[in-house]
Amino acid sequence: MSRTLIELLGDELPAEALVTDPDVTASYAHDMASFCDAGTPAVVVLPRTVEQVQHVMRTATALRVPVVPQGARTGLSGGANATDGCVVLSLVKMDRILEINPVDRIAVVEPGVINATLSRAVNEKGLYYPPDPSSWEMCTIGGNIGTASGGLCCVKYGVTAEYVLGLDVVLADGRLLSTGRRTAKGVAGYDLTRLFVGSEGSLGVVVRATLALKPQPPQQLVLAAEFASAAAACDAVCKIMEGGHVPSLLELMDRTTVKAVNDMAHMGLPETTEALLLAAFDTPDPAQDLAAVGALCEAAGATQVVPAEDAAESELLLQARRLSLTALEAVKGTTMIDDVCVPRSRLGELLEGVERIADKYALTIGVCAHAGDGNTHPTVCFDAQDADEGRRARESFDEIMALGLELGGTITGEHGVGVLKKEWLARELGPVGVDVQRAVKATFDPLGLLNPGKLF
């Protein structure tokens, strides 16, 4: 009689690394996305070593069982959702920081390290790991690599992809591949590192990463500017970027978001505010940069410009932005967070379009945006108990993606495709793009076992 999946996994994994209790495994079934189906895992595996991950992949390949790699499941597109009968491969126990080197400005980490843990550890050595998705206190570096996560820092510092120098990856058949380098530069062969970054666990399982670090910049200083129209705020964004400024943060909240935050946290933001822009600089003389940017905001029609004078005031101004998603969730109980990114010169058109779409579907849609990147998070608020409202929410969500593509943008700036945006990926890539991407997938995972049903 052939041995079972669990028995074979147990050959090289300790009992505590194998979770089969259905009540527990069910809690690993999905990430934080709405509207994404999730299956029932056969088993959750929590390896602690590279060899154990290799054993999982060899076993899965031998038995043709799908494997869903997972970090902290804070994703917003269902990219970590289980499929029926799969092995959930949770990397959260591989959570060691193996090295921090201030001369080479690199860190070597296992995939389960929490983003905030790494950020704090490198700070202690005068270094800076910029990527800061809003889930940074919970999400893992492995998960960040899987979706090439962004955050507030990107307008100056870019996304996770720009900080991944090299990877150790367990391939579908269990072989261990090392990509990239520890050096500042290197062009030996194809850039497979970047191929894995953002591949949502569909090409291999990242078990180690060499990350680039920056020196810790000066404390940033924040400015808030209120506008009587979203268009004026977007115009200010264009003026700031065209003016050659390099803010460390450039965020926008629309009227709906400002109101939601006010309603929840009573922050006393003026009810007349149609858009709030937050800009920050971590330069040697941030006050001077804020003065220049403040003047550009006024030229674009800002009704009020409030520069912070110190770190505490800056943090206070950022609170409104940090509370945005929670506040929008409170509006109707459930949200769908979109992630459309457009060229920043088209930001105004996107915001105008979202307002039109909200009217059309009679929905509340709040937009907060990494405005400097043109990366918006139109957030559809709806009552999950109301089937018709749910349907309208999904339709408006899709219409926003269509608008993003029309404006020369992308359906996802930093959240990934997962299952949520599968059909839309094909639309963005076009037939040749899809063919080539599928061919790449087949090269790395000919049996289609790694995170099946995601992306394509």
Binding positions for its own copies, 313-332, rule CB under 8 A? none
**Complex with its own copies: residue 131 or 294, whichever CB lies closer:** 131
In the bound complex, what is the minimum distance in angstroms from residue 104's beta carbon to its own copies? Answer: 4
**Complex with its own copies: residue 168 or 389, whichever CB lies closer:** 168
CA distance linking residue 417 with residue 434, whole number of Å: 13
**Residues 150, 159 contacting (CB under 8 angstroms):** yes
CA distance linking residue 178 with residue 170, whole number of Å: 9
Site track for its own copies across 92-121, x = CB under 8 A: ---------xxxxxx---------------
**Complex with its own copies: residue 227 or 444, whichever CB lies closer:** 444
| Residue 323: half-sphere exposure toward Cβ, Cα within 13 Å | 21
Q: Does 148 contact its own copies by CB under 8 A?
A: yes
Residue in 353, 378, 409, 453 binding its own copies, rule: CB under 8 A: 409
CA distance linking residue 54 with residue 96, whole number of Å: 18
Give me the helix-helix angle, 347-360 and 230-242, nearest 10°: 160
Residues 32-91 that bind its own copies (CB under 8 A): none
Q: Does 216 contact its own copies by CB under 8 A?
A: yes
CA distance linking residue 197 with residue 136, whole number of Å: 18
Site track for its own copies across 118-147, x = CB under 8 A: --------x--------------------x
Coil vs helix vs strand at 168: strand
**Residues 417, 441 contacting (CB under 8 angstroms):** no
Q: Does 454 contact its own copies by CB under 8 A?
A: no
Contact residues for 288 (Cβ-Cβ < 8 A; gap 6+): none
In the bound complex, what is the minimum distance in angstroms from residue 244's beta carbon to its own copies? Answer: 3
The DSSP symbol for 161 reads: G
Q: Does 422 contact its own copies by CB under 8 A?
A: no
Q: Does 393 contact its own copies by CB under 8 A?
A: no
Residues 217-256 that bind its own copies (CB under 8 A): 238, 241-242, 244-246
In the bound complex, what is the minimum distance in angstroms from residue 376's beta carbon to its own copies? Answer: 11
If residue 67 lies in a helix (H) or strand (E), which one and from where to where?
strand 67-70
In the bound complex, what is the minimum distance in angstroms from residue 282's beta carbon to its own copies? Answer: 12
Residue in 327, 342, 380, 403 binding its own copies, rule: CB under 8 A: 342
Residue in 215, 268, 271, 310 binding its own copies, rule: CB under 8 A: 215
Residues 371-390 that bind its own copies (CB under 8 A): 372-375
Site track for its own copies across 159-188, x = CB under 8 A: x-xx--------x---xxxxx-xxxxxxxx
CA distance linking residue 190 with residue 129, whole number of Å: 25
In the bound complex, what is the minimum distance in angstroms from residue 41's beta carbon to its own copies? Answer: 25
Residues 186-205 that bind its own copies (CB under 8 A): 186-192, 194-195, 197-199, 203
In the bound complex, what is the minimum distance in angstroms from residue 153's beta carbon to its own copies? Answer: 11
Contact residues for 356 (Cβ-Cβ < 8 A; gap 6+): none
Among the listed residues 369, 388, 355, 266, the one whose alpha carbon sits nearest the alpha carbon of residue 321: 369
**Residues 249, 222 contacting (CB under 8 angstroms):** yes
Site size toward its own copies (CB under 8 A) is 86
Residues 252-291 that bind its own copies (CB under 8 A): 283-285
Q: Does 440 contact its own copies by CB under 8 A?
A: yes
Task: Give strand pairing partners of 376.
Answer: 369
Nearest-5° Cα angle at 201, 197 to 203: 80
Which residue bears the tokens 């009810």?
271
Both tokens of residue 113?
Answer: 């390290």
Q: Where are the beta strands (DSSP E) in 338-430?
A: 364-370, 375-382
In the bound complex, what is the minimum distance in angstroms from residue 67's beta carbon to its own copies? Answer: 18
In the bound complex, what is the minimum distance in angstroms from residue 430's beta carbon to its own copies? Answer: 7
